[in-house]
A and B are shown apart, each in its own frame.
Chain A
Amino acid sequence: MSFREVASEAGLPEYVRRRPGGFYRSVNPSTKLAIAALEVVAAFVVPGWPGPVLVLGAVLATAAVARRLRGLGIIALAASPIVGSILLINIFLLPGASDPIARLGPLAPTWSGLWFGLQTVARLFAFSAAIALVYLTTAVDDLLADLVRRGLGRRAAFVVGAAVQMVPRTIERAGEIVDAQRARGMDTEGRFWRRARGVVPLAAPVVFGALTEVEERTMALEARAFSAPGRQTLLRIPVDGALDRDLRWTALLGLVAVVGLRIAGRLG
C-alpha cells in the first residue's frame, strides 16, 4: 500500500487534514526528531563550551522564529530548582578545585566550580531545549502518524497516543476523587501525618478506577478490530517534502560525523 496517494486525500474534510502551518511547525516530525537527536548528541559529545553553546544558540534561534520562546521559557523556569542545585554543589564542592572566589567560613566557593557548574547547566538547557522544541512545534498525533508510516507498530503508537490523552483525564478524575473523599470528612490539609494517611484514600481510587476500566477498554478495542493483522491505514500523513528529507539526512549524517570525530579524538 502506497502512502503517497495524495489524490485520495480529496475526500478528507479540512478539520481532519489539519496541516500545521508556520515556520518549523510545518517541517516533517521525523526530520525534527533527527535534528533534535543531532543537537542532543552534540551537546554531550562536543567537549567544553562550544557544544552546549552552539546547540542552545541554534535551538533558541529556531524557537524565536517559530515564536515558541515563551514555551521554552516556561520549561527553563520549571528546571530552576535543579539548576540551583547544580550550581551550588559545583561552586562549593568541586573536588580538586583550588581557586577560591572568597572564603565564607568553612565554605570556599571556587571559580572552577562555578565554571564547571555553568557548563553543566548550559548542557542541560541545550539538550532539554532541543527536545522541547520538537514537542512545542509538533502535535503528538502528527508525530505518531509519521512514525507509523515509517514502520512503528500500531500498538506502540496506540500506547503512546492513549497515554498522552489519558494523563489529563486521570488528573481530572483525581480531582473528583479528592472531592469525593473530602465529602466523607477526609482532611486534606494539615500536618504531615494526616497527609500521609490521605495518600491511600486518594491514590487507591485513582488506580483502581483506572484498572477496572481496562477490561471494558479491551473489549472496545477488539470490537473495533484492533488486533487485525497487517498494516493500519493512516487517514492523515504529515507531509514529507524534498527539503524535509534533505534536512533529515543531513542531521543524521552530522550525528554520525560528530560521534566519529569524538571517538577519533579530533574534538579535543
Chain B
Amino acid sequence: MAIELSGVRYRYAGAAKPALTSIDLRLEPGRVLGVVGANESGKTTLCLVAGGFAPGVVGGRLEGSARIDGVETRSIPTHALALHCGLLFQNAATQLSNTTATVFEEVGFGPCNLGLAVPDVIERIWWALRAVGIEDLAPRDPARLSGGQGQLVALASVLALRPRYLILDEPTSELDPAGTALVVGALARVAEETGAGILLVEHKTDVLARIADEVVVLGDGSVSFAGPAAAVLADPVLAQLGVEPPAPVALERDVRAAGLDWPVELGGSARPGSAQAGLSDSSSVAPSAMSSSEPSAPSSSDPSATPSIELERVSFSYPDGTRALENVGLRIGPGELVAIVGQNGAGKSTLVRHLNGLLRPTAGRVLLDGRDIRSMHVARLAGRVGLAFQNPDRQLFAGRVSSEVAFGPSNLGLRGAGLDERVRAALDAVGLRPEADSNPYDLGYSRRKLLSLASVLAMRTPILVLDEPTTGQDARGAARVRAVVAAAAEQGRTVIAVSHDMRFVAECFRRVVVMRAGQVVLDGTPDVAFGEASWRELRAAYLEPPFAAVAGARLGLGATPTTSSFVAALARRAG
C-alpha cells in the first residue's frame, strides 16, 4: 500500500531533455513526505508522475515503474486517477470548476462526475468539509473567497473522492501568512483524520518542518538526498542546492558560523519542530548567508533628485462601496526603504496603487515632492514611480524578453543605443541576460516575475514600488530580488515593497509600515516593528515577527529582527 516510484525517468512530449532522470520514492498512507528543490528541478513533474497525470493527461514518455497501490499508473484510466490521488496546485482560482454557485456544490463536483447517488454525494460533501474544517464556508460563493479559503475548498473537493493519497504542489506560495497557516492546519488535520499519505512540495521549509515526516531534495531531475525531515532540513547541503532551510536552522548556522554556541534555551534546532515549541513563527524563509547585511545608506547619487512621496489623509472606497483605505497618512522621504506589510485585504495593494496614480483617493491627496498628483496622467507618473505587479502575466505580451523589457523605457521616450543599454542593464540585474531572445512564456513563473521586475527597473524611476517580489521565488530568485533592492538603495532611489516575507522585510528595509483594515497601525524601524512591544499589534494584523526577533526576545537580547543583529547581540552577551 504505497505510491512507489522506482527508476523513474520522464520526458515531456517534444522536449529534448528529460525532466526527471532517476527517481526512487515511496509514499505510504499516513505519512507526510516533503519535497524541496530549486525552481525547475522537476518538482511539479514529480507530482504529475506520482499522481499518474504524467503521462496520462500530459503525454510524454515514462520509463521505470510508477505504481499506486501496486498498479502501474499507466494502466489506470485517466478518470480513475483521481480516486487514488488527489492533486492540488498553487493557484486556488484555476482549480475551481467555474460551474457552481456555492462551496457545497463545488465540493460535490467530483462525486457528481462519478455519477454517485445523491445521498452518497451529500454524505461525501459533508465528510470532506468536516475533514478540512470548512463547514461554515458551505454556502459561500467559491469565486469570492480569499486565497487560503480557496485552497481549502480545492482540498475538500479532491478529498470528496476519497483518495488514499494527496499530492500538493506548492499550495501556499501565493498565500499570505494567515492563509498559509490555514492550509497547513487543514493538512495536518486531514492527515490525522483520514490517514491519507501526503506528498507536499514546498519552498517554505518552515511548513515542512512542522508537518513532514520525511523530506526529499530534488536537484536536476533526480533525488539528491532524502531522509527524516529533521535531519534533511538541518543539513547544510540544502543551501547549496538552492533551498532555504527553515528559519531556526538558518539562524543556528549563522550563530555557529560566528563561532558562538547555540543557546540551550532555544532547544535543539536539529529537530526544527521542537525548536519552535513555545515560539510561533509562520513567516516564510529568505536566504540568510547570502545577503544579510543591513541596507547601506545611499552613497552615490544626489538625494534631491529623488522626490518624496506623501499620502495626506487619504481615504479610498471602491465603486461597490468597500472601504479600502481610511485616513491614511504616510510620508516617504527620498531614498527611504519602506516595507508595507499586512494581511491580504488590509489595503496594501490599494495603497501602492495610489502612489502612481492608478487609483485616485476619494478623500485626501497624494503629493509628489509636495505637489498634488491629481492632475498628472498615470503615463507621466510612470516615469517617476515604477510599479512592479505581483502577477507578471498581467503585463507580458511581447514575443521576446528583450522587447518586453524595452516596452517601459520606450514609452518614456527612449530609443536607440540608450534604450539597448537600459535593457541590457536591467536584464543583467535580474540574471536574465542569457534569455534575452527567448519567449517570455517559455520561462517558468518565477523567472517571469524577474522579467516583470526587469521591465520596471529599465525605466530607472527614482521611486520603485514592488508588489510581493519574492512570492514563488526559490533561494536564487529571492537573492536576486534582494540584490536589486540593495542596488537601488545604493543609487539613492526610494524602494517601497509590499511583502509577506518578514525576513526579507527585516533584512532589506529600514522602515516597516503595518496595515490592518485600511489603516496604518504601526510605522517604525524593523527594531521597533518586530520588537516584543509590537507583537500584539502584529498578531492583531495576522502577522508574525521573523524568527530571529522571536529568538532574541526569548533570550532577552533586545530587538533582533535580523539574523545578523541576533548574532551580534549574542556575541555581545557572550563576550
Kindly state whether residue B104 has any CB partner on chain A within 8 Å.
yes
12 intermolecular pairs with C-beta atoms under 8 Å apart: A16-B104, A182-B382, A183-B382, A185-B408, A185-B411, A186-B411, A205-B396, A215-B58, A222-B78, A223-B53, A232-B113, A233-B116
* Chain B residues closer than 8 Å to A245, beta-carbon distance: none
A173 to B115: give the CA distance in the assembly, Å.
34
In the complex with contacts A208-B441, A216-B91, A232-B115, A222-B82 CB distance below 8 A:
yes
In the complex with contacts A154-B113, A233-B116, A233-B117, A173-B87 CB distance below 8 A:
no
* Chain A residues closer than 8 Å to B83, beta-carbon distance: 225
Interface centre among B161, B391, B441 (most CB of A within 10 A): B391
* Chain A residues closer than 8 Å to B108, beta-carbon distance: 235
* Chain A residues closer than 8 Å to B139, beta-carbon distance: 13, 15
Which A residue's beta carbon lies closest to that of B380? A185
Q: Interface residue tally of chain B, by bracket? A: 35 or more
A100 to B397: give the CA distance in the assembly, Å.
56
In the complex with contacts A187-B379, A224-B82, A226-B113, A212-B119 CB distance below 8 A:
no
Q: Are A205 and B393 in contact (CB under 8 A)?
A: yes
A:104-125 near B, CB below 8 Å: none
A187 to B470: give the CA distance in the assembly, Å.
29
In the complex with contacts A141-B99, A220-B95, A233-B441 CB distance below 8 A:
no
Residues in chain B within 8 A of chain A (CB atoms): 48, 51, 53, 56-58, 78-83, 86-89, 91, 94-102, 104-105, 108-119, 121-123, 138-139, 143, 154, 157-158, 161, 353, 356, 358, 377-379, 382-383, 386-387, 389, 391, 393-398, 407-408, 411-412, 441, 455-456, 459
Which A residue's beta carbon lies closest to that of B378? A182
* 6 closest Cβ pairs, A-B complex: A185-B411, A204-B397, A185-B382, A161-B99, A228-B79, A224-B110
* Chain A residues closer than 8 Å to B58, beta-carbon distance: 215
Q: Closest approach, in angstroms, between the C-beta of A206 and any C-beta of chain B?
A: 9
Kindly state whether residue A179 has any CB partner on chain B within 8 Å.
yes
Q: Are A222 and B122 in contact (CB under 8 A)?
A: no
The proximity string for A residues 147-176 relative to B, scoring 1 for CB distances below 8 Å and 0 otherwise, is 000000010011001100110010001001
In the complex with contacts A13-B138, A184-B456, A200-B161 CB distance below 8 A:
no
Q: Closest approach, in angstroms, between the C-beta of A227 and any C-beta of chain B?
A: 4
Kindly state whether residue A74 has any CB partner on chain B within 8 Å.
no
Which B residue's beta carbon lies closest to that of A203? B397
Interface 9-mer from A3-11, A24-32, A51-59, A127-135: A3-11
Q: Which of A141, A183, A230 contacts B387 (CB 8 A)?
A: A183
* Chain A residues closer than 8 Å to B386, beta-carbon distance: 183
* Chain A residues closer than 8 Å to B157, beta-carbon distance: 224
Q: Are B112 and A233 in contact (CB under 8 A)?
A: yes
* Chain A residues closer than 8 Å to B393, beta-carbon distance: 205, 208-209, 212
Q: Are B89 and A219 in contact (CB under 8 A)?
A: yes
Which B residue's beta carbon lies closest to that of A211? B441
Kindly state whether residue A231 has any CB partner on chain B within 8 Å.
yes
Which A residue's beta carbon lies closest to that of B163? A223
Q: Are A218 and B57 in contact (CB under 8 A)?
A: yes
* Chain B residues closer than 8 Å to A225, beta-carbon distance: 79-80, 82-83, 110, 113-114, 161
* Chain A residues closer than 8 Å to B356, beta-carbon distance: 183
Kindly state whether residue A136 has any CB partner on chain B within 8 Å.
no
Kindly state whether residue A102 has any CB partner on chain B within 8 Å.
no
Interface centre among A13, A173, A219 (most CB of B within 10 A): A219
Which B residue's beta carbon lies closest to that of A205? B397
